Amino acid sequence: MRKIVLAGNWKMHKTQAESLEFVQAFLPQLEPTPAERTVVLCVPFTNLGILAEKLKGTRVNLGAQNVHWQDQGAYTGEVSGPMLTEIPVQYVVIGHSERREYFGETDETVNLRLKAAQKHGLIPILCVGETEQQRVNGETESHIRSQLDRDLVGIDQSQLVIAYEPIWAIGTGKTCDSKEANRVIGLIRSQLSNQDVPIQYGGSVKPDNIDEIMAQSEIDGVLVGGASLDAPGFARIVNYSVKH
């Protein structure tokens, strides 16, 4: 059975004090986990240390939002694999569309970051997805195929999560139709050599659409931005009530 990975991506939100408030409210609302469900909080670097303490012994895993491909060096503003695993951090988001769009990430740097994450035992959450224009032009499949072809060179698919995030659905309230997300995720799976890779959907996931999304046969979890900032809302998402 494929693992289900329910991850929050806080992006550039929450101070340390705010992240502690979140965890205090969030943990008591978690229902006992079915064994196949993994919960992850991907938070700003500044909050990793304090949350590692608070999440020790709980069922919540910790994730970062990027990692550099070198272990150390003159790379101002970057953070390396050994720095993350020391905390300890278990997951890392790589290739998010915001990194690709605003910070010049390319498929080549995404591939280097994926390799570095795996070298240090971090599980990468690789984000792929099309722009609105690519969808209108009928280029969704070819774009995602090209991303996967380049990003996954030399990557161990047994230690990987993929998030399908249509860029036009991120932070817009325009969720991708769950059946369409299911179809695209099926196409992504058909490109993988390992059929057990969990593939998430991301893009305006909310407490009121999680059950429908998780009812789809190909969707193995969600990567949640805005709605993961609210403790009761994110608890409702990870406690979703359907299984497939």
Residues 6+ apart with CB under 8 A from 76: none
How is residue 72 written in tokens? 């150390």
In angstroms, what is the minimal distance from the CB of 35 to ligand G3H?
Answer: 25
Place of tokens 């209108």: 136
Angstrom distance (rounded) from CA 36 to CA 33: 8
CB of 161 to ligand G3H, least distance (A): 12
Looking at beta carbons only, is 11 or 158 nearer to ligand G3H? 11
Return the structure tokens found at 74: 């003159």
208: contact with ligand G3H by CB under 6 A:
no
165 near ligand G3H, rule: CB under 6 A:
yes
Q: Is the CB of residue 26 less than 8 Å from the CB of residue 231?
A: yes
Annotated binding-site residue? 77 = no
Which of 98, 105, 130, 165 does the annotation list as catalytic? 165
First to last CA, the chain: 10
Residue nearer to ligand G3H on the CB measure, 23 or 224 = 224
Contact status: 9 vs ligand G3H (CB under 6 A): yes
Look up 96 and say whether it is catalytic.
yes
Q: Is the peptide bond before 88 cis (omega within 30 degrees of 0)?
A: yes
Interface with ligand G3H (CB under 6 A): 9, 96, 165, 170-171, 202-205, 223-227
What positions carry a catalytic annotation? 96, 165
